[in-house]
Amino acid sequence: MNTLPQRFRLALVAVPVFALMATACGGDDSASGENGDADEAITIYSGRDQELIDPLIDMMRESTGLEIDVRYGDTAQMANQIETEGEDTNADLFIGQDAGALGFLVQEGLLAELPSEITDQVPAEYRAANGEWVGISGRSRVIAYNPENVDDVPDSVLDLTDPEWEGRVGIAPTNASFQAFVTGLRVIEGEEAAEQWLEDMVANDVQTFENNRSMLDGLETGEIDISLNNHYYWYERMKETPDEVTSELHYLPAGDAGGLVNVAGAAITANASNPEGAQTALEYLLSDEAQGYFTNETSEYPLADGVELGEGLPEVDALEQPDIDLSDLHSLDETVEMLREAGLE
Amino acid sequence: MTDVQHGRTKPEPSQKRGGSGRVASLPFSLPLALPLYLLAGTTAVLAVLPLLYVLFQAFSEGPSALVEALTRGRTVELLVNSLTLTATVTAGCLVLGVGLALLVSRVRLPGNRFWALVATLPLAIPSYVAAMVWMEAVPEVRGFVGSAIVLTLCTYPYVFLPVVAALGLADRDQEEVARSLGRGPWYVLTRVTLRHVQPSAAAGSLLVALYVLSDFGSVATMRYDTITRAIYNDYANRFDMASAASLSAVLVAVTLLVLWGEARARGRARFSRVGSGATRTRPPRDVSAELLEQLPPKLTRAPGLAPAVRALTGALLVLPFVLVAAAALVFPVVSLSYWIARGSSAGVDLPRMVETALTTLGVSAAAAAVTLVLALPVGILAARHRGRVPRLLEGATWMGYSMPGVVVAVALVYFAVNHAFALYQQLPLLIFAYALLFLPAAVGSVRSAVAQSPPGLEEIGRSLGRTPPQVFTRVTLPLAFPGVAAGATLVFLTCMKELPVTLMLHPTGMETIAMRLWSATNVGRFAAAAPYAMMLIVLASVPAFVLGRKATAMER
């Protein structure tokens, strides 16, 4: 065994690696904003997808001149992380995928109250009662269905427990939006009714999916005929592969829990190291430019006043938000417990 | 058996090649042993940190809540699911891994080395990517079947590699002795050859079993409910960690059982050469030649028959490799290529891809180095010292690997925030987390590499007046280097594919390929994910290739 050349080879590998590491560390220091201009640098924790938020952040940098770092993760995980970090939190601004996580942080006292010039831009039902968070885009729960097999789409999710729908309905029980809907159902119809509905759905052989996307796949392949999902997944599909979409959407009328309009929202953390910068960023998220971006990119509903709707979206008036305070959606644990009891998680 | 070799009587237990029979009693002088124990102890303590956090969280709601959580019907159901999948995949990997290894090292194939490399390459395919591909192509396999297929195809090299290496090192003389004593080929295979590879097959199976137990990505995509998937959903969707922690405690208990089982399966008996000198190399069996000899001479003289027989047997012999490669390699790569060519969401941002790739390589390389440093004392201790303490320290290093990544990540977030905020969301902590996750591969390779280098040489070094550290750097390390390097390569490879820990601990603004994949698939943009998946596979195939070459080099 000739070891010397091997060691030599090891060195050949190691030197560039360490050089790389050094540059990575160096780059990291400047990026983390500690050495940067502290007034201008903020850190955003985003529970929303990188694919969607990254371009928006670039626009934000351009428009506000802020230096911005973003961390991505699941919404609840990010909220948990902010809670774990407590007073030392690195997050200045939190962007959440649903109101429940924002409500959780309100409860924990980890969010700062926002000035009224920010909260007033958004209708009251899409922001926190005491103004700790504002919705930045709206997403409606809908029924997507296969028109070949479904003539008469039910107008309430409560009808889906009928034997007629046995084995034909799909849900994504681990998906945060579905869980928010169940929480909404508990708030609107009461605990017992919600529990009963879940049990009846299971008894009716409801099909479960990992996420909205695979569920819409199941709808196209005929695995199911009805899917309970967020409206924009269907629009995304229409943009990606319009020829392959045969399903259609049905918006539920009259404030049915199945037509809940949840929001993606943003909030400034109570312990932010740069609250001014975070506020500038939040104001930008409610600007016409950012709101237009949401509605055109993701087909979500803009929530700030006077922004034009994205292509193909029905008017906001068609959305009938059930009578509910979105902050109440934070009682997620009870929902998950209920889903478990029903054998759905 | 004319030239009687000295000292060869019967296989003696518990000895490694070239060993002088005093491995067990090798008196380590205290000056070296004590620091070794201290260093190994440090590694072990670091490795059980996440476990302590899990227990702390599990008991945080009080013992009654914990008991309630553990005795739920759902917990039992998840446990059964996890165990069924683990047993199935481990069995599948043993059959595939050992079978292919035997073919490569004992039979003459058209291009032995090539097929050995092909059989190693599936290591480069991340299981979550494979699951994604299978689900898109054949959604019908979802659930148990799909999870079992994907995990088997992605992890069987963990068995194949050590077994090929062991077969290359195995003492062929014993097989001949058995044959000369009138035993048939089947007896020799099961009682001699397979006994040789039992320890390495058991070690490989352990890596597979614990991988399956703690894997989240593929079972989530396949929609199969395992304990790990439930733990992940708890952490990702809820604002309460106690439930996830109690499930993690169950998983740890299972891990301990699996570890104990592997220790039993490793087998007490070790077959190794006693005499000096190398075993004679023998050509692998030439099946087509043997077939031709069986045929009547009249037939074999027929023109073109011999080549035809050769071609046919060759084709049949490589068929298993072709099938496995088709399912494990070609299928994902072709599907990804199709997605890249298709969807409208595909926009390839080349500079960003390059930057992401460099980051991934750099972080993985650093993690491999750190893991190796942490693994060295434990591996050396396990190789050179007997007894309960070294075994315990070695067992401790399995803790991180056997827990779901998200649990390790949450534990480290908690520790860093509360006890070492300066490290929080900094690169060193991420690299340290990788080391915790992938210690076992490094420890195992250090252990076997050191065990295979004769302690006699170290003693000579000591007798010539060198200090223990000098002997270590000048004798032990150079001798063990190839094996140790292979361990580091395996860690490097697994770090490149790692996702949950990276997601929670990375420095803000840093991006690995796996993170980009996650972002793209999160919104269901396969076409956007495909280039990254492809890049990950291409980059990861380099270390996989190196590992395959090393494992097969031992035979020649």
Average pLDDT in the A276-287 region? 96
Higher model confidence: residue A85 or residue B386?
A: A85
Q: What is the pLDDT of residue B458?
A: 84
Share of chain A above pLDDT 90, in %: 55
Cα–Cα distance between A198 and B172 in angstroms, integer?
64
Give chain A's end-to-end CA distance (angstroms, integer): 56
A73–B503 C-beta distance less than 8 A: yes
pLDDT band at residue A119, thresholds of 50, 70 and 90? Answer: very high
Q: Tell which residue, B226, B102, B120, B213, has the closest CA to residue B440.
A: B213
pLDDT for residue B524 is more than 60: yes
Report pLDDT for A39: 59
Please report, for residues A14, A340, B423, B458, the alpha-carbon distance to residue A120 in angstroms, rounded to integers and kept in the order given.
57, 39, 40, 78
Nearest CA in chain A to B363: A21
User: How confident is the model over A249-256, as a mean pLDDT?
Assistant: 84
Tokens of B37: 């124990």
Q: 3-state class of A39 per DSSP? A: coil
Average pLDDT over residues A296-306: 88
What percent of chain A has pLDDT above 70? 88
According to the model, what pLDDT value does residue A317 have?
65
C-alpha closest to that of B137 among B358, B361, B333, B388: B333
Q: Assess whether pLDDT exceeds 90 at residue A105.
A: yes
Confidence of residue A137 (pLDDT cuts 50, 70, 90): very high
Among the listed residues B410, B366, B326, the one whose alpha carbon sits nearest the alpha carbon of residue B149:
B326
First to last CA, chain B: 23
Q: In this model, does residue B15 exceed pLDDT 50?
A: no
> Quick count: other Cβ atoms within 10 Å of Cβ A225?
21
Percent of chain B with pLDDT over 70: 88
Q: Do B363 and A69 touch (CB under 8 A)?
A: no
Closest residue of A to B242, CA-based?
A: A333
Interface test with B, best of A12, A17, A34 (most B CBs within 10 A): A17
Structure tokens at B460: 């000579």
| pLDDT at position B144 | 95
B277 pLDDT more than 60: no
With CA atoms as reference, the chain A residue closest to B527 would be A240
The more confident residue out of A87 and B555 is A87
Return the axis-axis angle of helices B144-155 and B157-169, rounded to nearest 10°: 40
Q: Mean pLDDT check: name the lowest of A38-42, A59-63, B190-194, B283-287.
A: A38-42
At A3, the pLDDT band (50, 70, 90 cuts) reads: very low
Residue B371 token pair: 């893991």
- Indicate the helix (H) or strand (E) that contains B468: helix B468-471
Q: Read out DSSP for A227-254?
A: EEEEHHHHHHHHHH-GGG---EEEPPPT
DSSP annotation of B244 reads: H
Neighbours of B62 (CB within 10 A): 10
**What mean pLDDT value characterizes chain B?**
83
Q: Tell me which residue of A307, A304, A219 sits closest to A263, measured CA to CA.
A: A304
Which pLDDT belongs to residue A167? 93
* Tens-digit pLDDT profile for residues B222-247: 888 899 988 888 887 776 677 788 88
State the Cα–Cα distance between residues A183 and A187, nearest whole angstrom. 6
Instruction: Using CB atoms, pick whichever of B220, B478, B528 lies closest to residue A210.
Output: B220
Kindly report, residue by residue over A24-44, the tens digit of the pLDDT.
444 444 334 343 444 579 999
Under the banding of pLDDT at 50, 70 and 90, the label for residue B343 is low
Closest partner residue to A51 among B241, B344, B523, by Cβ?
B523
Mean pLDDT of B29-48: 80
Q: How confident is the model at residue B347, as a pLDDT?
A: 62
